[in-house]
Structure 1
Amino acid sequence: MSQISTEKTGLGKLEERLQEDLSRLELPAKPWVRERTVNGVKLLDVAIIGGGMAGLTVATALKHLGISSQVFDRSPAGFEGPWATTARMETLRSPKQLTGPALGLPCLTFRAWFEAQFGANAWEELDKIPRLQWMDYLRWYRQVMDINVLNEHAITRVELNPDNYLELTIENSEGQQRVLARRLILATGRDGLGGPSVPDFAQAIPRHLWAHSADEFDYGTLTGKRVGLIGAGASAMDSAATALENGAASVDLLIRRPDIPRVNKGKGSGNPGITHGFARLPDEWKWRIRHYINVQQVPPPRGSTLRVSRHENARFNVGCPIEKVEVRDEQLFVHTPKGIFNLDFLIFATGFKIDWHLRPEYASFASYVRTWRGRYAAPLGQEDAELTACPDLGPYFEFQPKNGTPLSGIENIHCFSYPAVASHGTVSGDIPAISEGAQVLAKGIAGSLYNEDVAYYYEQLEAYEEPELEGDEWEPAPAPSKPMGAE
């Protein structure tokens, strides 16, 4: 008679293995950070703004080092980041085998999660990771790593207190509250220190006649409409395809360049050397590498482009920069060197920009943060507005003050989002090296918290009295009756 197995299968079994691995590695470390209070209010060790992939990864890395954190996210639970909201790609661009936020734990990888549910054969057959499946994985990640996330909590103001802590004003369904923290991490994604970038002429177009590709927007409203789409990157293709799949009468991609980029230069530079060495490169090499990648631009994925081109009513208009846009009778007349396009709606897939004015929550300290504008003078012909605007970060992603800044404590705020790219490369937002970046940041915070309270930890050292020996393990030898070796 066959015996019925009661052993867990699927995710349950994987989760058991994960806990065994953590136990063998003695993770997480025991809490050790000195508790600090102000007028009876306990300070958070670390506050994290953003509960997407970056926020979850760095919260886990901190937890492994025995440091508690509180994550705040403005979105409902399970909808952090862009994956289930503003992202419109069918699959991720990143190769499926990248370990992403797993922090060196095989059982925490997407592959382990996928195979536990669908099997090894399904993994071999999988080409790219479906976007919504990636979101499901991140929801599981949050659950199994037991990350403390407060959803629908928006940070409306951050202030530096001269007594070396941060005051956060938070709004939620119950109103406004104040939270105090010793360290703050901005894990706020691609537009972490700004927002969507649109050309100046967009301001003259009625807002109901255009959208940015990052907007939460109902593409069903484009049914039967003539749509123009400015851009040729991944978000342009995803937005164009979504409009077409929602019944747009036509989509004209208006592409400034004479051709669409073909080679992803950033992918060609990816290796452990640049991951671990970029932050220590001389400024001229940092600038040269990032500027070259910016100028070459990242091409859209092949699958995303085919998703558009399979529609007969999609048109790729290259060499077609916008000269001006006229609005007449709720219609758009877009002037280009290749003629005038008569459209009903425009979508700007024009990326993001670093602009502190779009982040009023940081107004109290933003003007005192040192940027690359004051750090490096680009050679003639290598000017780069994006890199110039990036903050000049320290070795652990911390903001640094401009010379003469009257505020203290700016270094207690860490930028773990895209604008860290000029100082640290792509280790704070992209899947390939997110674990490496999170571990660098977590170790830096661990060291700074210890150094800040070193006198307290020295007192702990002096007060430590747990004996290794009880005193009965040996007896002292009797003194010799005469000097050793004497005759």
Structure 2
Amino acid sequence: MTAIAPSLAALEDRVQHDLLTLNWRAKPWLSQRLLEGQPVIDVLIVGAGQAGLAASMALAQQGVQAVLLDRAPRDYEGPWATTARMETLRSPKELTGPALGVPSLTFRAWFEAQWGAAAWAALDKIPRLQWMDYLRWYRRVTEADVRNEHHVTAVRPRADGLVDVDVRAPAGSATWHARRVVLATGRDGLGGPQIPPFMQDVRRALWAHSSDVLDYSALAGRRVGVIGMGSSAMDSAGTALECGAASVDLIARRAAMPTVNKSKGSGVPGLTQGHHELPDEWKWRIRHYINTTQVPPPRGSTQRVSRHANAFFHFGCGVEGVHEVDGALHVATTRGTFVFDFLILATGFVIDWAQKPEFAAFASCVRIWGERFTPPPGDEDRELHDSPDLGPVFEFRECAPGACPGLDRIHCLCYPAALSHGTVSGDIPAISDGARRLASGIAGLLYREDVQQHFATLQAYAEPELLGDEWTPADTARRVLPTTT
């Protein structure tokens, strides 16, 4: 383990003092529950990436202890050091991410403690792997209770106020019990990669999704095709080119590259705080507009690709079919047929419960927006239609009363919450807002559930504020007017 730089050690002292003066780790106020001799976890968070860590820290401020389960080995939670391939983050460096309003917990404080203010001023965007190093530090200094290599294999709501969570870990398999479960499972939190129908019969060895773990060095000297022209397409294409691909052709159905990131135009505090209370029509209208105008890839990511003479951008090429011919892939499009040795699908993600078998016990009972709202003709949107209709604390709702008792004890703090709550459930800009909303809401729900017990505690409270020796009773008769008869 490497030694901590003196300035970073000083920052860590500052963090602990800040948390002390803010009384951050509030005194625990929930009674420990047992079920068949096994402790019941107050809040179990599935996922220890930036959303899970922020949620854990926000709950600690409320005096609620959380346990985080993550399937990845320690220090490899989330996509940053595994499947993400951008050189830098796409967000401005000034955004405070999961710091929850604590200055000493920001990336900037962590960066300046090691490299100084001048280096910060010279920094353009945050390098991806440096962000991962920051999250590793954040986990350590916030003392998050993360259990790595713990694979959640089933989540089963119960009718008695608990949720059973089946977990496979190095020590063996077991069923955990929790009062609340938070799904902090990322961009593909309720589904997985979107695979177009034209790939159905294509041999798997000849293609990958941009989110797959892939050894890009194996693409050296090969003709590579990339379906898509968004951020992940640029990241995949740039990585393939830097690893020596003979050529990379990016294929897009769209007629031209979008140049304006409309989602940036919605990033104001009012929308962050007020989206959940908007009428359904406005929620749908805003999210659908962002979806249909499409988000362009970052300028730097695009230049990373275009600096290579063997990179080719093709627009207006709707894919009509993909077939293997003599070990190569023939990709038929509306503008002709391309020939590739390997194909990368940068086709995004889809809400698809079938790709999350661990949620099978409740998936069919979740109410979705398609059951809540019918958009005007022409504004149909499959992603929005399939998004869960969440309550004010990110909780799932039943599609019909009684369909799945206990379903509302599962909270969705991942990307599909965007239509119900706005983009506060995963992206860097407003992740602290989402974590605080979740934590304060869960604290209130737990108190309400235990109100009888808390009232009994109130009645039994007997710590004296006064001991009886702080005053001397006066001779009142000597201090009042004489009584007349």
> Alpha-carbon deviation of 1:484?
4.3
Q: How does 1:161-172 map onto structure 2 within 5 Å? A: 161-172=158-169
The reply to whether residue 101 of structure 1 matches residue 93 of structure 2 is: no
The one-letter amino acid of 1:115's match is E
The reply to whether residue 438 of structure 1 matches residue 439 of structure 2 is: no
Structure 2 equivalent of residue 354 of structure 1: 351
Segments ≥4 residues shifted beyond 4 Å? 481-487
Structure 2 equivalent of residue 178 of structure 1: 175
The reply to whether residue 366 of structure 1 matches residue 358 of structure 2 is: no
Identify the match of residue 418 of structure 1 among 403, 415, 418.
Answer: 415
Aligned partners of 2:325 and 2:148: how far apart in 1? 43
For these two proteins, the number of residue pairs brought into alignment is: 480
Q: Is the 8 A contact 2:198 2:320 kept in 1?
A: no
Structure 1 equivalent of residue 154 of structure 2: 157
List gaps (5 residues or longer) in structure 2. Answer: none
> Alpha-carbon deviation of 1:482?
10
The reply to whether residue 294 of structure 1 matches residue 291 of structure 2 is: yes
Q: Is the 8 A contact 1:34 1:453 kept in 2?
A: no
The one-letter amino acid of 2:303's match is L
3-state SS of 1:470 partner:
coil
Aligned partners of 2:65 and 2:323: how far apart in 1? 55
Q: How does 1:34-45 map onto structure 2 within 5 Å? A: 34-45=31-42
Structure 2 equivalent of residue 199 of structure 1: 196
The reply to whether residue 28 of structure 1 matches residue 25 of structure 2 is: yes
Aligned partners of 2:245 and 2:480: how far apart in 1? 105
> Alpha-carbon deviation of 1:38?
1.1
The reply to whether residue 327 of structure 1 matches residue 320 of structure 2 is: no
> Alpha-carbon deviation of 1:226?
0.6
The Cα RMSD (Å) is 1.3
Aligned partners of 2:425 and 2:349: how far apart in 1? 16
Aligned partners of 1:61 and 1:481: how far apart in 2? 59
Structure 2 equivalent of residue 304 of structure 1: 301
Structure 2 equivalent of residue 147 of structure 1: 144
> Alpha-carbon deviation of 1:326?
2.0
Q: Is the 8 A contact 2:67 2:147 kept in 1?
A: yes
Aligned partners of 1:151 and 1:373: how far apart in 2? 36
Deviations 1:417-464 (A, max 9, x none): 000001001000000000010000000110111110101111110111
> Alpha-carbon deviation of 1:475?
2.9
Aligned partners of 1:91 and 1:442: how far apart in 2? 30
Deviations 1:130-156 (A, max 9, x none): 000000000000000000111111000
Aligned partners of 2:322 and 2:390: how far apart in 1? 40
Structure 1 equivalent of residue 210 of structure 2: 213
3-state SS of 2:369 partner:
coil
The one-letter amino acid of 1:38's match is L
Deviations 1:300-349 (A, max 9, x none): 00000000000000000011111112211111111112211111111000
The one-letter amino acid of 1:50's match is G
TM-score (norm 1): 0.97
Q: Is the 8 A contact 2:393 2:442 kept in 1?
A: yes
> Alpha-carbon deviation of 1:483?
7.1
Deviations 1:34-71 (A, max 9, x none): 21111211100110000100000001111111111110
3-state SS of 2:17 partner:
helix
Structure 1 equivalent of residue 280 of structure 2: 283
Q: How does 1:121-136 map onto structure 2 within 5 Å? A: 121-136=118-133
Identify the match of residue 72 of structure 1 among 69, 92, 109.
Answer: 69
Aligned partners of 2:129 and 2:403: how far apart in 1? 46
Aligned partners of 2:311 and 2:334: how far apart in 1? 19
List gaps (5 residues or longer) in structure 1. Answer: 1-7
Aligned partners of 1:18 and 1:484: how far apart in 2? 63
The reply to whether residue 400 of structure 1 matches residue 397 of structure 2 is: yes
The one-letter amino acid of 2:31's match is R
Q: Is the 8 A contact 1:92 1:130 kept in 2?
A: yes
3-state SS of 1:43 partner:
strand
> Alpha-carbon deviation of 1:376?
0.5
Identify the match of residue 470 of structure 1 among 462, 467, 470.
Answer: 467
Aligned partners of 1:416 and 1:484: how far apart in 2? 70
Q: Is the 8 A contact 1:74 1:153 kept in 2?
A: yes
The one-letter amino acid of 1:379's match is P
Aligned partners of 1:202 and 1:33: how far apart in 2? 51
Identify the match of residue 262 of structure 2 among 258, 262, 265.
Answer: 265
> Alpha-carbon deviation of 1:10?
1.1
The one-letter amino acid of 2:306's match is S
Q: Is the 8 A contact 2:91 2:429 kept in 1?
A: yes
Q: Is the 8 A contact 2:157 2:409 kept in 1?
A: no
3-state SS of 2:140 partner:
helix
> Alpha-carbon deviation of 1:219?
0.7
The one-letter amino acid of 1:147's match is A
TM-score (norm 2): 0.97
> Alpha-carbon deviation of 1:407?
2.2
Q: Is the 8 A contact 1:278 1:286 kept in 2?
A: yes
3-state SS of 1:381 partner:
coil
3-state SS of 2:312 partner:
strand
Deviations 1:1-53 (A, max 9, x none): xxxxxxx8311000111111111111110111121111211100110000100
The one-letter amino acid of 1:373's match is G
Deviations 1:348-374 (A, max 9, x none): 000000011111101111111111011
Q: Is the 8 A contact 1:228 1:253 kept in 2?
A: yes
Q: Is the 8 A contact 1:368 1:405 kept in 2?
A: no
Change (3 A) 1:482 1:66: closer
Aligned partners of 1:402 and 1:480: how far apart in 2? 73
Aligned partners of 1:111 and 1:482: how far apart in 2? 67
> Alpha-carbon deviation of 1:416?
0.2
Change (3 A) 1:10 1:482: closer
Aligned partners of 1:405 and 1:134: how far apart in 2? 44
Aligned partners of 2:260 and 2:51: how far apart in 1? 27
> Alpha-carbon deviation of 1:111?
0.1
